[in-house]
Amino acid sequence: MKPDKLKLPVTDIHCFSFPPTPKLTRGSLARVFMAGGPTVMSLSQRVEENELQATVAYRRMIQRLSLLLGRNEDDASVLSRRNAKARDFPRYLQLLFDDAGIEGMALDNGLESVSFDEFRKYAPGNLHRIFRIEPLLKHLLESSKTFDALFESFDETIRSAVKKEGFAAFKSVIAYRTGLDVGAPDEREARRSFRAYRSGDEVVEWFGPRVKPVRDFLLYHVAERARSLGVFLEIHTGLGDTDIVADRCDPLLLKNFLRQEAVLKVPVVLIHGGFPNTAGAAWLANVFPNVYFELSTPLPPYFLPPLSGSRFKEVLEMVPVTRIVYGSDSHDIPEMHWLSAKLAKEALAEAMGELVEERVMDEGEVAAASRRIMSENAVSLLK
């Protein structure tokens, strides 16, 4: 099936806001195209300007922009034409989103380069917010004198985030803190861990104390609160930037967490589908009826192979299309959101085309399933 046959609306269930960017240069893009993505550990990874042309991801973005803007030119000329259009930034943004079919976005508030209120002044489409729990926990660990005070403040804040501020879901990046081997909820152990931290016996890193029992206990509580509030839970799985606990980010480590009664009653979205451990995440989404597989790259702007036809086909062979959702994890500049959606549609069309050729599905069934994956399942979760 040709990519242009899938003119699909897109709801990006996992991305970030971006400030107005009326001007892009090779220099500014050198920061965006860092190898392995951005890092918060001061391990600065930068693609120098003279290396950009040797970066396939950068060349792909320039090539796609040249097609959108109507001329096949060198990168300096393409950026110049792009910047001329982006002087009217809302109009340029509408051009990008119309071309990619982006109709909605769910924005992680863990990295907000611009406030949500400011962002929606120029960003088109249906906008939702996802509440990341780790920044709140870091703040409360630094400010709470007792475990009870921490728990009460944590619970009230996440409840208010949904009830009063309209957040659509919770998100955890525990894979970046202590890993996905989440232990059974144990309040006594969580209290002991908190006391050890307060007495100075706990290792403190850039994100705060590790306090694994506290983090595990509160993640279960977030799942319980998500159920009572009628929202869903996103969990980062798989690789990411240099801060990830790389030996404990395999999604299969979440099995015991997902088996808990409280967790079984709330939709859980496996962000990045555990890439590169795709099969493990797909298995979880197959055997747990409340688990969703999210198709995105953990390393934007290095989109492929996470957004490849072969990966999409692998997921389609294992996960019901009712529980596959699309996300981009894009940030910094709108071209990331745009290009990710374009490449995801092409990969989906390639995978679906094989199913048509194999006579597993007909074109009408493919169109319906594709709409579910790229938008309808996400819209249902976001309500």
Q: Which of 32-46, 69-83, 177-191 has the lowest mean pLDDT?
A: 32-46
Tokens of 29: 């893009």
Tokens of 206: 């850039």
On whether the CB atoms of residues 238 and 275 are closer than 8 A, the answer is: yes
SS (H, E, C) 116-132: HHHHCCCCCCEEEEEEE
Separation between Cα atoms, residue 104 and residue 379, nearest integer Å: 8
Separation between Cα atoms, residue 304 and residue 284, nearest integer Å: 23
Asked whether the predicted pLDDT for residue 87 surpasses 60, the reply is: yes
Specify which residues 55 forms β-bridges with: none
On whether the CB atoms of residues 106 and 382 are closer than 8 A, the answer is: yes
pLDDT, mean over the chain: 92
Asked whether the predicted pLDDT for residue 45 surpasses 80, the reply is: no
CB neighbours of residue 98 within 10 Å? 12
Query: What average pLDDT does the segment 223-252 reach?
Result: 95
Query: For residue 37, what are the contacts with CB-CB under 8 A and spacing of at least 6?
Result: 240, 241, 298, 299, 300, 302
pTM of the predicted protein model: 0.94
* Residue 3 banded pLDDT, cuts 50, 70, 90: very low
Give per-residue pLDDT as tens, 311-323: 999 999 999 999 9
In this predicted structure, what is the pLDDT of residue 383?
A: 86
CA 137 from chain centre, in angstroms, equals 20
- In one letter, which amino acid is 146? T
Tokens of 95: 């051009």
CA 171 from chain centre, in angstroms, equals 9
Q: Position of tokens 């589908």?
A: 273
Nearest to 95 by CA among 66, 63, 124: 124
Separation between Cα atoms, residue 289 and residue 261, nearest integer Å: 13
In this predicted structure, what is the pLDDT of residue 6?
A: 56
Asked whether the predicted pLDDT for residue 198 surpasses 80, the reply is: yes
Q: Which of 34-38, 47-51, 140-144, 260-264 has the lowest mean pLDDT?
A: 34-38
On whether the CB atoms of residues 207 and 137 are closer than 8 A, the answer is: no
Reply yes or no: is the peptide bond before residue 267 cis, omega within 30 of 0: no
Q: Is 55 helix (H, G, I), strand (E, B) or coil?
A: coil
DSSP 372: I
DSSP 14: E
* Residue 378 banded pLDDT, cuts 50, 70, 90: very high
On whether the CB atoms of residues 334 and 21 are closer than 8 A, the answer is: yes
Q: Which of 112-116, 254-258, 349-353, 371-375 has the lowest mean pLDDT?
A: 112-116
Domains of the chain, CATH where assigned = 3-22+86-382 (3.20.20.140)
* Residue 302 banded pLDDT, cuts 50, 70, 90: confident
Q: Which of 28-32, 150-154, 217-221 has the lowest mean pLDDT?
A: 28-32
Q: What percent of the chain has a predicted confidence (pLDDT) above 90?
A: 79
Asked whether the predicted pLDDT for residue 79 surpasses 90, the reply is: yes
Q: What percent of the chain has a predicted confidence (pLDDT) above 70?
A: 94
Largest CA distance in the chain: 65
